Structure 1
Amino acid sequence: MAVLLLMSAGYVHGQSGISNNGQYSNGMVVCAYPDASQAGVDILKKGGNAVDAAVAVHFALTVTHPQAGNIGGGGFMVFRSGKGKISTLDFREKGPGAASANMYLDSAGNVIPDMSLYTHQASGVPGSVDGMVTAHKKYGKLKWADLVQPAIDLARNGFKITKHLASDLNRTQAQFIKLNPGKNYLLKQGGWKEGDILVQEDLAKTFEFIRDKGRDGFYDGVVANQIVAEMKNGSGLMTKEDLKNYHSVWREAITGNYKGYKIITMPPPSSGGIALLQLLQSVEKYPLKRWGYNQDSTIRLIVEAERRVYADRSKYLGDPDFYKVPVDSLLKPAYITSRMSNFSWDAATPSASIKPGTFVGYESDQTTHYSIVDKDGNAVSITTTLNDSFGSKIFVNGAGFLLNNEMDDFSSKPGVPNMYGLVGGKANSIQPGKRMLSSMTPTIIEKDGKLFMVVGTPGGSTIITSVFQTILNVIEFDQTMQQAVSSKRFHSQWLPDEVVFERDGVDSTTISRLEAKGYKTKPTGGIGRVEAILKKPSGYYEGGADPRGDDTTIGY
């Protein structure tokens, strides 16, 4: 961990506007790597707003957090202005024009192992650069070039890597070598160690094209030619036409309420927003505050809600530009009440007995997150991804960035799970130009019409439940922002029929009680890496940076 970060609290002391206990008045950035957090705060100090800082952070994470920071992937942005105006931006990747529903099946109709993960055919058309350009064009204040320059400097001059990044790079060396013959990106003879300087000159050149030409610096010209050449070299599908035709989409936010708090979150093709609101409504009438954090009744209620929500996800959620997502029906209080009606305190509900719900009128990770607020109260919640850690592990030769493997987020075959164990069907089938379903759940919360919380996380299928539990930790269990982020989490997603707990997060007595009621439990390592900001009644910002990684809060 960088010396700037106090691991136990996740706070870094800025130079002005600071109160007690690591709270800041002028602005704050919480993201996955200290150098990227610093890049964002530097932009805020220069008079940039939250969106300006987001652009700088996004590109800096491409350099410093290659596991998930990207220009070869995509994501979602939830924005709330200081005056309460809200919008969301969908810059999720798209299926190439040559994609087809059965492209990952063999002649017998079976899914070909790893084809949707570690090949050139695994990549959707990237949306990140267009997303940043589009967000800046609508909301940015500072010059575009000034926002891209920090990433260029980090890539060209290098930065000190952390122990965590060194470990991830070393663990992936064999795959980098296997999948990138003739390339030498992120490799080091003898392996990486903490404090080594990582220089990425080809990536710096790519960012110079983006700095000087904006969107055309990536989707046209030299970089686009490099992407297409890489595709041809590996029998990939992406073409110049696919790149030219990619555009981000502004979408209407999904909103709902929980005990007087307004939840502002991402609509489809994110499944996260609908699922989050379903979960909150499912538990709202129960006395969670009295039961307590990670207690027997609390866990059972949350697990039962999660099972039903993920079952709905498998059938009803997909790209709204291709499929009529029944948003209103899924969020009707009467429907959610009916879904929980067969929940019994006597025994666990077997996942095999839970099916997607029915209603009248229906027509048949690795990821990273950053939360930013500025001195005017503008707030940005952005989750972005390459899918797996380091995406497909394949670099664009000459351009120095990683390709995503987001095509695995489509349903390669109905009922067959993807890498995160999620199953899907027709709503999320592969089609040209279609955006694949995502669990990313960037969220902003208001209380009494004022900004209250900015929150999100990576974690594949666990994203939704991690955001859900972090919100409950603050609202129900009176935790500070940092406590809420650091607290141990658990996860259930309908299939497989199990409850996964972070080690030492739940005591053995509670585990025994759950198992006696029929819950199948399984210990695991870290779940999610939440980045969150809380607006205190005093007006100060309080950050929560996840201690599960190099995540860093910097405010001023």
Structure 2
Amino acid sequence: MQRIIVYCFSFLVLFGCRTNTPTRSTTIRESQGVYQYRDEDPLVKPFYSDRQGVIGRNGMVASAHPEASQVGLNILQAGGNAVDAAVAVQFALAVVYPGAGNIGGGGFMVYRDQAGQTFTLDYREKAPGRASKDMYLDSAKNVIPNLSILGHLASGVPGSVDGMVQAHQRFGKLSWAQVLQPAIDLAEKGFALTERDATGLNRIKTDLLRINPGKTYFLKSATPTDTTSWRKGDLLIQADLAATLKRIQAQGRAGFYEGETARLLAEEMKRGGGLISEEDLKNYHAAWRDPIRATYKNYTVLTMPPTSSGGVALVQLMRLTEPYPLRRWGWNRDSTVQVMIEAERRVYADRAKFLGDPDFVKVPVEQLISPEYLRSRWTDFTFAHATDSRAIKGGAIPGYESLETTHFSIVDKDGNAVSITTTLNGGYGSRVVIGGAGFFMNNEMDDFSIKPGVPNMFGLIGNQANAIAPNKRMLSSMTPTILEKDGKLFMVVGTPGGSTIITSVYQTVLNVIEHGMTMQQAVNALKFHHQWLPDKTTFENGAFSEATIQALQNRGYVLEKLTNTLGRMDCILIRPDGSYEGASDPRADNTARGY
């Protein structure tokens, strides 16, 4: 009987659940890819902008800032490989994109070499050795507002420098000095601020003055009381950061985790009531982990395992929606959106229950992405109405007991590919600048479950698996990913966005695979997001037609139109003729460079 029910369910999924009415369609054609949308939709087009992809044959870099992308391209043209360029871009972003680029944060790397071997590096931050489970709670066990977000106590032990050292030692081709020099030049000589750069620094001025008394880092004037604001085109010179980068260039890992930089960092933490010590820094090491490798139709998804939750969640989402005819239903049509929302609802519930640092808790990755488990997650789904998130919990797995970011993608002339997502967490992290060293610290401690059931700054709920513990890595949503098609390199993808990272990557991948978009169209396409709790779907203005909105609301879905945007994608697609299409997000300063 159970087998008959499964077969009937599959038949309904594939043939009996389409609620969209047939309509005429219009085709957008580019040199690669064909995308169709319905004439009845009151959208001029489903894209944020008309930006076209950048085409190259010998190398491609897509990152959050034009200066950093140019640095990566220069390294490739100088004979460096994708890892050399990635290291150079990581350090360049620490200079030109201080809101998320960093040496005071951490991240994840997915690397696929030209032979198809895949490696993942976890350089996520860790809790200090003196951290404790209830460190952000008062005597009544209530969360103390902002303590895990702003100020010295919000920071975990940084991992970015050690991660880049390990990646370069294992796979780099050029010298360490050569890949560090561009970032040093940008810090020492300065760079011209974009409009977005200037706006961001002006926005945090009050926090900078309050949290960093007596310092003038990232202020327009050396006089703290001066109200002068940054403007587009202003030159930002960072002498202390240049000196820090020179120590890293000369001494490698020891230039950050020991000696002068470590002393300055530990002193700053002590001065502001933080917990990170010189011993914490000396003991930090990034971790090489086995990548998640999963199939979706004739594609292979190569992605990040825990401590990232993104890889597990992405595979779950793709496999949950794989049986449904999304291509036939159409992009962001009501049935397509409904299936995707319901998949997201269940996946984020699983994230809250099961995922954490695998060095501390059992994370049942294989069970979570197995077809059998995912089929069980659909048993309470119906097209008739929205599922109530309050009724959705993390799934049941036998034997298991519960206990502002940036991305860049690089492919070199030989087909080596790197996908890296790195972060300080919130924009400009904890807003603490290390005195004498000139860089922002992260506020990643907020990514722990500081109290079970209490949401973090992104509204994500956590539980015991992600509770604070000394030297433990906090859970992340970062989802750096590489896809193969028929065994060959196909796509490099990723984005910042906190809790929306997973859903933005998911939609971008499906936009290419299921809806025939080019890489840049997939990035430009308007997006939506659901994360289990709070029980609502947010969407970019124009992402849904009025017909789709009405159909979903009639079934009980709570929809909220955003005043801002979702995602800051930086992606690369291997086109059928072997050339690379670099796609950078028009929602910000993201830039692709290729040759």
Map Cα deviations across residues 472-492 of structure 1 (whole Å, 9 max, x no partner): 000000000000001000000
CA deviation profile, 1:210-233 (whole Å, cap 9, x unmatched): 010000000001100000110110
Kept in 2: contact 1:10–1:543 (CA 8 A): no
Paired residue for 1:53, among 74, 85, 91?
Answer: 85
Q: Aligned equivalents of 2:525 and 2:200: distance in 1?
A: 24
1:355 corresponds to which of 393, 396, 400: 393
Secondary structure of the residue that 2:410 maps to in structure 1?
A: strand
Match of 1:42 in 2: 74
Give 3-state SS (helix, strand or coil) of 1:462's partner: helix
Q: Structure 2: which amino acid aligns with 1:316?
A: F
2:304 to 266, 271, 274: 266
Partner of 1:449: 487
Paired position in structure 2 for 1:542: 581
Gap change, CA 1:10 and 1:221, over 3 Å in 2:
farther
Deviations 1:34-89 (Å, cap 9, x if unpaired)? 00000001000110000000000000000111110000000000000011010000
**Counterpart pick for 1:284 among 322, 337, 356:** 322
SS in 1 for 2:122: strand
Would you say 1:9 and 2:48 are equivalent positions?
A: no
Partner of 2:281: 243
- Indicate yes or no: 2:434 matched with 1:396: yes
How far, CA to CA, are the matches of 2:197 and 2:389 in structure 1?
Answer: 37
Distance of 2:466 and 2:511 partners within structure 1? 32
The residue that corresponds to 1:382 in the other structure is: 420
TM-fit CA distance, 1:188: 1.1
- State the partner residue of 1:132: 164
Residue of structure 2 in register with 1:554 after alignment: 593
* 2:553 pairs with 1:511: no
- Cα distance in 2 between the residues matched to 1:469 and 1:327: 22
Measured in 1, the distance between the counterparts of 2:535 and 2:496 equals 22
* 1:123 partner amino acid: S
Per-residue CA deviation, residues 106-149 of structure 1 (Å, 9 max, x unaligned), is 00000000000002111000000000000000000000011111
Tell me the equivalent position of 1:526.
565
What letter is aligned with 1:159? F
- Structure 1 residue 282, shift from structure 2 partner: 0.4
Q: Does 1:297 align with 2:346?
A: no
Query: Could you tell me how far apart the structure 2 residues matched to 1:141 and 1:496 are?
Result: 47
Q: Is the 8 A contact 1:383 1:440 kept in 2?
A: yes
- The aligned counterpart of 1:191 is 229
Separation in 2, partners of 1:287, 1:448: 21
SS of structure 2 residue aligned to 1:62? helix
Q: 1:159, 1:197 within 8 Å by CA — same for their partners in 2? A: yes
Q: Which has the larger radius of gyration?
A: 2
1:507 CA displacement: 1.7
- The residue number in structure 2 matching 1:306 is 344
Letter in 1 for 2:575: K
Give the distance between the partners of 2:152 and 2:367, measured in 1 at CA: 38
Match of 1:14 in 2: none
Structure 2 matches for 1:412-451, cutoff 5 A?
Answer: 412-451=450-489
Q: For 1:238, what is the secondary structure of its paired residue? A: coil
Per-residue displacement from partner, 1:484-523 (whole Å, max 9, x unpaired)? 0010000000000000001122122211221111101111
Give the Cα separation in 2 of the matches to 1:39 and 1:217: 22
8 A Cα contact 1:10 1:546, kept in partner: no
1:57-76 correspondence runs (5 A): 57-76=89-108
- Structure 1 residue 8 displacement after superposition: 3.8
Q: Tell me, in whole angstroms, the C-alpha distance in 1 between the residues paired with 2:126 and 2:434.
A: 18
Q: Which deviations, in whole Å up to 9, do the C-alpha atoms of 1:366-420 show, x marking residues without a partner?
A: 0000000000000000000000000001100010000000000000000000000
- Matched position secondary structure for 1:286: coil
SS of match in other structure, 2:380:
coil
TM-score, normalised to structure 1, is 0.96
Find out whether 1:331 has 2:343 as its counterpart.
Answer: no
Residue-pair matches, total: 539
The match for 1:86 among 118, 123, 137 is 118
Q: Give the letter for the 1:158 counterpart.
A: G
Q: 2:255 aligns with which of 207, 213, 217?
A: 217
Corresponding residue for 1:19?
Answer: none
**2:52 & 2:176 partners in 1: Cα distance?**
30
Letter in 1 for 2:103: I
Specify the code of the residue in structure 1 equivalent to 2:460.
Answer: L
- How far 1:471 moved relative to its partner? 0.3
Q: 505, 508, 511: which is aligned to 1:467?
A: 505
SS across alignment from 2:535: coil
Provide the C-alpha distance between the structure 2 equivalents of 1:413 and 1:119, rounded to a whole number of angstroms.
19
Q: Is the 8 A contact 1:329 1:359 kept in 2?
A: yes
- Report if the CA contact (8 A) 1:30-1:543 is conserved: yes
State, as a whole percentage, how many aligned pairs show the same letter: 60
Amino acid in the other structure paired with 1:106? D
Quick check: 1:480 aligned with 2:518? yes
Counterpart for residue 493 of structure 1: 531
> Which of residues 163, 178, 181 is equivalent to 1:149?
181
Moved more, 422-431 or 172-181: 172-181
Distance in 1 between residues matched to 2:505 and 2:66, nearest whole Å = 22
The 1-side partners of 2:325 and 2:379 are apart by 17
**Deviating runs (4+, > 2 A) in structure 1?**
7-11
Q: Indicate whether 1:119 and 2:155 are aligned.
A: no
Contact 1:381 1:455 in 2 (8 A): yes
Q: In 1, Cα distance between the equivalents of 2:188 and 2:572?
A: 31
Q: What is the one-letter code of the residue matched to 2:290?
A: E
Structure 1 CA distance for aligned equivalents of residues 418 and 219 of structure 2: 34
d(CA) in 1 for partners of 2:448 and 2:578? 43
Q: Secondary structure at the match of 1:544?
A: strand
Deviations 1:447-474 (A, max 9, x none): 1111000000000000000000000000
Between the aligned partners of 1:540 and 1:160, the Cα distance in structure 2 is: 32
Q: Is the 8 A contact 1:10 1:545 kept in 2?
A: no
* TM-score of the pair, normalised by structure 2: 0.90
- Structure 1 stretches lacking a partner, 5+ long: 1-6, 12-21
Matched to 1:419, the amino acid is: M
Corresponding residue to 1:252 among 290, 299, 309: 290
Equivalent position amino acid for 1:552 in 2: T
Q: Which amino acid aligns with 2:586?
A: P
Counterpart of 2:216, as a letter, is N
Q: Are 1:10 and 1:547, in contact at CA under 8 Å, matched by a contact in 2? A: no
- Cα distance in 2 for partners of 1:47, 1:537 equals 25
Q: Equivalent residue of 1:532, what SS?
A: strand
